[in-house]
Amino acid sequence: MKITEFTLKNRALSHFIFMIILFGGVFAYLKMGKLEDAPFTIKQALVMTQYPGASPQEVEEQVSDILEEAIQSLDELDYVISENRAGLSKITVYVKKEIRAEAMPQLWDELRRKVNDAQGKLPPGAHSIVNDDFGDVLGVFYGVSGEGFTPRELDDYSKKIKNEVLKLPGVAKVERYGVQVPTVDVILSPGKMGEAGISMSELVAVLNSQNKVFDAGTINTPTNRVRIAPTGNFSSFNDIKNFMIPAPNGENIRLGDIAKIEEGYMKPFTNKLKINGNDAIGLAVSTVEGGNVVVMAEAVKARLESLKAELPLGIEIDNVYDQGMESAKANDGFIINLIMSVATVVAILLFFIGFRTGILISSGLVYAILATLLVMFGEGIALQRSSLAAIIIAMGMLVDNAIVVADAILINLQRGMSRKDAVFKAVKVSAMPLLGATFIAILTFLPIYLSPHVTGEYFSSLFIVIAVSLFLSWIFAITQTPLYCDEYMKKPKSTGDGTDPFAGGMYLKFRKVLTEFIRRKWLVAAGLVVLLATALAGFNYIPKVFMPDLEKTVFTVNIWAVEGTKIEKMEEMLDEMNEYVESFDEVVQTTLTVGQTPPRYYLANVSFGPMPNFGHMIVETHSFEEVKKIKEELTEGLRERFPETVIKTSLFASMPPYEADIEARFNGPDDQVLDSLVNEALEIMKSNPKAQMFRNEWKNQVMVWQPELDQQRARLANINVGNISNSLRAYADGTPIGVFRDEEKQVPIVMKTESALENGFSTYENAPIWGMGTTTIPLNQLTSGQEFSWEFPMIKRYNRERSMAAQCDVMPEYTKSEVLEELKPLIEGIELPEGYTMFWDSEYKSQKEAMEALTAYLPLAMILLVTILIALFANYKQPVIILLILPLSLIGVSFGLLGTGKEFGFNSIIGWLGLLGMIIKNVIVLLDEANIQKADGKSHFEAIVNATVSRTRPVLMAALTTICGMLPLLPDSVFGSMAATIIFGLSFATLLTLLAVPALYAIFYNVSVANTPQSTIQELEEH
């Protein structure tokens, strides 16, 4: 080829280019971004709307329904889910899977416009916020704590640390979590208020006007315009105490004389963070897009260490999760595996083909890897789990191109050709078949790259790296390999007399075996069919796990208490749980959040809350072995001690976990019918001994107290519903009545009463209610009675329909797929009323979507693959032979997964696709050699035997290098099943290439050993 000729003619330039690639690849590795896992876009946005005082049904009807109607006009919308709680609407917007990351910002802008346009239709007091960045990963997570320090002090110190961290290069943003909102509590005395003749409405109006910012205008001078800035706003805590309130009698009453003024915190709090049982404030740090999280995390760690000297004694800064350290560990582990794999490949090559030739071929592998790193650096592809795995997956195919060319050159030299002729003939014969095989190998991964599912985005770098590395390996096979072989390959002893270099003891035995397989071709075909059927049946006994868990030293515990549990009680319960967890010797640190999950410190985390009955715990141990040792014992211990709670422990995974392992979701208009259907499904779940933790997604109903307002009495007392609500709230948590500006802080002023009522309904019946006057009226004089009712605390909707799910988890010794298969026919047999539907949600839905997205582009890949095969061979028989061999590779895969106990999942499928590329490449080169032999006048029998024998050494070398290169990945938690698929699949596929392909060739070309002259058979067997 011309490119080979150019390389050999311009040796100095060629060596210079290879040197640039060598040093450029090393430079790229040192400078390129490094991440723990491949990034993918969370294609969700949250629309949060506060509607204080509204019931879940009122929130559903007056807020969520209006917003969902506006949101559904988005062309890119996939589906929408809303959770309606008292006073809060939480709408999660899911866009179509095929929307790529670069289109998301514009889409979220459109969503924001639609939500803003709908604000005018919402009831007074309701206001929406669109959160489209809650999917951002803040992968460096620290906690600032200090025993004996107040929340205000922790707030100040954490803010100082945040400002320092923001100055560091590579830091994009810093979010704080668990900050307790400070308040100024004005605790009123109704008696003193009445004596002074001051009404609550007057007090609220005066306080609001006092601390409000007003524009006083300017003073015009002949040359300037001077701004007028009158003082008098509250500037200190004492200013509020000494504030004078005008009384009706003309006197001014000091606020501190009629109320207690205290510093407090907003109740109930929304969320809280605790580290090892101590109150803390979280600092979650994200890196800039495309940045090196390892470098950024090290800079943050170093700065925090230096800041400790500036902080008071007792302030602790604890690491909760360090993505930089995790990325470094993941990358270091993969680099070690990569080095081991390369070393293994080199050792095998040296064994098969000699030291010098082995080094020459191995150098092509090194160049291909370094050139791939250079391209990755230029394209901004970081080193992470998927991209590094891609290099290891491709390694066998990378070295295969060089093996074929170098082996052909070696054989030509053995046949007495000159170096130049040996090189050019080897390249001429091999280049196009290898190019076609390389493109086909790339095409096998195309459905993954085109998949619109999140798995497609997660593995997109895998496809790109494999495509780039394979194409580069072909380039090096026809440039660098010929050049190095021409300059450095030791010329073997030439036979000169035309003796076949493939004559000899091992080749002689193989020829006889091969002849027998061709002789019994139909028996071979039948045996393969039986083996395939057995292997497919064996898949029923292989555990099915869509995406495996990761081997980390930490795991998480999600806790849901009974609905209606107040957040203060939840905190007490979580403190007790924390004490139990800390009793394990293996536990190094516990991080506890109350009310909702922490910021997304790991990409595949899932968000829960805000909800007062929820808690989240991050448990850190010394090693993953300790995690496996204590996880189930800890879970069972918590469930025994807190039987009323739902407790779900999870390992970290590549994909986001779900609230429940299995969910049967029912949709329809009436919540009572939905409840009945869910209960029926739960009874079925409970009958399965492999399932556990059965619950209704809407949880239990909660009590609501409803005092019935007597409108006539209320009008006579000049009291309305707002007066009653504010007065009752003041007796409980307090009513915000203004804002105190403390430098950059806006501290709420909260009105409370000194006789705050904590417990019991009877005391509330006599609660004094403030009206427009200066006196209070007991509540029971304004009501005609009271009643208690029950309601679901949360109403969930799926695509604007009410939706309720029956949930359960799976016992540790079983897989989700096997339990689901047992439940499906029973639950799907439930008779649904008209207007009601049911589908399987949770992980099953995600798996189904992922597989549908993957298989959607398989036809395209197959059409392109067959097109290339037909173009290469210019016939139909040989492409059909190749296509028939591909499913037979499942025989090795099935027995391999069964033997190793590895699970079958998405990664196994990726491994199988890579395996197909390797098989196709080997068979293409074999059949192409058979065509060359046939063109030289050989019979079909002679052609296939000679071609197979000539391909034996390169096929075995490529197979062994790939298999041994995969061995370091076999124990890996994520890619172990993929490695097992390739190792055992390729082992059997090698036998298929060398034995089954000749048998199928004999069937398709009607080759009969019986009709072949005995002299020809004897000559072939003794050649």
Res. 1015: pLDDT tops 60: no
Which residue type occupies 579?
Answer: E
Distance between CA 807 and CA 506 in Å, rounded? 62
CB 294 within 8 A of CB 119: no
Alpha-carbon gap, residue 190 to 258, rounded angstroms: 9
Range with the lowest mean pLDDT among 64-78, 479-493, 867-881? 479-493
- How many whole angstroms separate alpha carbon 679 and alpha carbon 339? 56
Residues 256, 236: Cα–Cα separation, whole Å: 14
Q: What is the DSSP letter of 937?
A: T
How many angstroms separate the Cα of 419 from the Cα of each of 12, 426, 485, 950? 19, 11, 9, 20
Confidence (pLDDT) at 213? 66
Residue 1017: per-residue pLDDT: 56
* Residue 637: count of CB within 10 angstroms of its CB: 17
Looking at the DSSP assignment, which residues form a beta bridge with residue 264? 183
Contact 546, 844 (CB under 8 A): no
d(CA 843, CA 833): 26
Confidence of residue 604 (pLDDT cuts 50, 70, 90): confident
In the three-class reduction of DSSP (H, G, I as helix; E, B as strand; rest coil), residue 64 is classed as helix
Rounded CA gap, 974 and 902, in Å? 11
Q: What is the mean pLDDT of residues 934-946?
A: 87
Nearest to 774 by CA among 190, 90, 304, 124: 190
> How high does pLDDT run on average in the chain?
86
- What per-residue confidence (pLDDT) applies to 949? 87
Question: Which structure tokens are listed for 599?
Answer: 């910021």
Considering only CA atoms, which of 1022, 1009, 16 is closest in space to residue 516?
1009
561, pLDDT greater than 90:
yes
In angstroms, rounded to a whole number, what is the distance separating the alpha carbons of residues 473 and 75? 43
Band the pLDDT of 82: cuts 50, 70, 90.
very high
What pLDDT does residue 692 have?
Answer: 93
Structure-token match 């072949």, residue found: 1012
Taking the CB of residue 848, how many other CB atoms lie within 10 A of it? 13
Q: Which residue has the higher pLDDT, 1014 or 732?
A: 732
3-state per-residue secondary structure call for 731-781: HHCCEEEEEEEECCEEEEEEEEECCCCCCCCHHHHCCEEECCCCCEEEHHH
| Rounded Cα gap, residues 546 and 907, in angstroms | 8
pLDDT at position 211, please? 66
Residues paired with 649 in a beta bridge? 557
Angle at 810 between CA 809 and CA 815, to 5 degrees: 140
Please report the pLDDT score of residue 1010 as a whole number.
56
Q: How large is the angle between the packed helices 151-166 and 293-308, nearest 10 degrees? A: 130
* Cα 130 to Cα 121: distance, rounded to the nearest angstrom: 17
37-41, 596-600, 968-972: range with lowest mean pLDDT: 37-41
Q: What percent of the chain is modeled with pLDDT above 90?
A: 38
pLDDT tens profile 114-146: 999 999 999 998 999 998 776 678 889 999 999
Tokens in use for 540? 């029923």
> What is the pLDDT at residue 196?
77
The predicted model gives 328-353 an average pLDDT of: 74
Structure letter (DSSP) for residue 996: I
Q: pLDDT of 746-792, one tens digit each?
A: 888 888 877 644 555 666 777 778 776 666 788 788 888 778 888 89
8 Å CB contact between 87 and 62 = no
**Residue 1020 has what pLDDT?**
52
Pairing, β 745-753 against β 182-188: parallel
Q: For 333-355, what is the mean pLDDT?
A: 74
Judge whether residue 487 has pLDDT over 70. Answer: yes
Confidence of residue 71 (pLDDT cuts 50, 70, 90): very high
State residue 895's pLDDT score: 92
Closest to 920 measured CA to CA, from 234, 299, 527, 444: 444
Nearest alpha carbon to residue 34 among 361, 388, 284, 364? 388
Give me the long-range contacts of 824-828 (CB less than 8 A, separation at least 24): 826/684, 827/664, 827/681, 827/684, 827/685
Residue 790 CB burial class (10 angstroms; 0-12, 13-18, ≥19): exposed
The arithmetic mean of pLDDT across residues 567-590, rounded, is: 94
Map 86-151 to HEC letters.
CCEEEEEEEECCCCCHHHHHHHHHHHHHHHHHHHHHCCCCCEEEEECCCCCCCCEEEEEECCCCCH
The 10s digit of each residue's pLDDT in 661-697 is: 999 999 999 999 999 999 999 999 999 999 999 999 9
Which of residues 315 and 102 earns the better pLDDT score?
315
Residue 858: pLDDT over 80: yes
The pLDDT assigned to 1023 comes to 52
Predicted confidence (pLDDT) at residue 164 exceeds the cutoff of 90 = yes
pLDDT at 291: 74
Mean pLDDT value across residues 162-186:
91
Rounded to two decimals, what is the model's pTM? 0.81
Strands (E), 16-103: 44-50, 77-85, 88-95
Q: What kind and span of H or E run contains 659?
A: none
pLDDT grade for 174, boundaries at 50, 70 and 90: very high
Rounded Cα distance between 422 and 563, Å, is 80
Q: Is the pLDDT of residue 431 over 90?
A: no
Which region among 10-14, 442-446, 591-595, 715-719 has the lowest average model confidence (pLDDT)? Answer: 715-719
Confidence of residue 637 (pLDDT cuts 50, 70, 90): very high
Q: What's at 1018, amino acid-wise?
A: Q
The confidence score (pLDDT) of residue 414 equals 80
Decide if pLDDT at 529 tops 90: yes
Cα 299 to Cα 304: distance, rounded to the nearest angstrom:
9
Of 693, 557, 543, the residue nearest 630 (C-alpha): 557
For residues 793-807, give the mean pLDDT. 94
Question: Closest Cα to residue 44, out of 134, 155, 151?
Answer: 134
